[in-house]
Structure formats: C-alpha cells, structure tokens
C-alpha cells in the first residue's frame, strides 16, 4: 500500500518505521524539508518528500503533528487529493502541556471536526493508532 505521513516525530517516525518494515511504500514529510529526513530515509527505505507530496502520495495519509501545528499546514494541502484517500489524524489536543488554548475546541467543537476544518478534509481522529500497527 502507498502511505503518506506528515510529521516525523515520535508518532510519524514510528509509523514510518513499522509500515516500511511491513513492506508498504511510505513517503514522509516534516516542516524542515526532505533533506532533514535523510537519516530516517536511509535507515528505513522510506521516501523523504515535501508536505504537499506526502498529502498526494498515498492511499492513506497520516497527519502526525501536534494539534497546535495543524493550523500552520498549507490551506491547499489536500486540494485535488482523491476523495478515496483516507486521511488519518493521529493527534490529541493537550492544551496545558503542548498546544495552548484552541478556542473552538475549548468551546465544544470536537477536535476531529476542528482538524477537518483546518485541513479541508474529513480525517479520522485516532488516539492510540500506534498500538494497532
């Protein structure tokens, strides 16, 4: 299966390692650019790409970045991506520890809906995805 991953931290990196080991074709991106992923690519065989390329490189695309960074993603990131592509958002909102206050979520909007609004797509919010990979 072709899989795109946006984010190369604990979750994104773990997903890349495990999915590549299982034989999937994985493309991964982060905010620092493909060159910053050279070591991960050499270690695992994944392909280091831009965030736009990662959004368009899979049958499944994982967005594995902190909630507060979701709004920083390009607004056109998923424009033109086939409707059959599953977008899976792996984050959890941590207002005290990491993300700061995101008013719509604090006012009752579901985190997954807020993320979908930011991405212009309807992701699936997965809390403990890594345990099932």
Per-residue pLDDT, 132: 44
List, for residues 31-57, the tens digit of each pLDDT value.
999 999 999 999 999 999 999 999 999
Q: How many residues does the chain have?
A: 133
Q: What is the DSSP letter of 72?
A: T
The pTM assigned to this predicted structure is: 0.87
Burial state string for 21-32 with b = 16 or more CB within 10 A and e = fewer than 16: eeebbbbbbbee
What are the respective helix, strand and coil percentages of the chain, to the nearest 5? 40, 15, 45
The dotted CATH code for 2-132 is 3.40.50.720
């Amino acid at each position: 299966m072709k899989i795109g991953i946006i984010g190369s931290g604990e979750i994104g990196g773990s997903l890349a390692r495990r999915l590549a080991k299982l034989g999937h074709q994985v493309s991964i991106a982060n905010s620092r650019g493909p060159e910053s992923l050279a070591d991960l690519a050499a270690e695992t065989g994944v392909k280091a790409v831009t965030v736009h390329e990662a959004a368009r490189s899979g049958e499944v695309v994982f967005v594995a970045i902190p909630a507060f960074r979701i709004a920083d993603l390009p607004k056109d990131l998923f424009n033109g991506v086939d409707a059959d592509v599953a977008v899976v958002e792996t984050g959890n909102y941590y207002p005290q520890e990491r993300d700061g206050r995101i008013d719509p979520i604090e006012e009752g909007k579901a985190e997954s809906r807020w993320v979908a609004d930011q991405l212009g797509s309807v992701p699936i919010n997965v809390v403990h995805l890594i345990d099932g990979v």
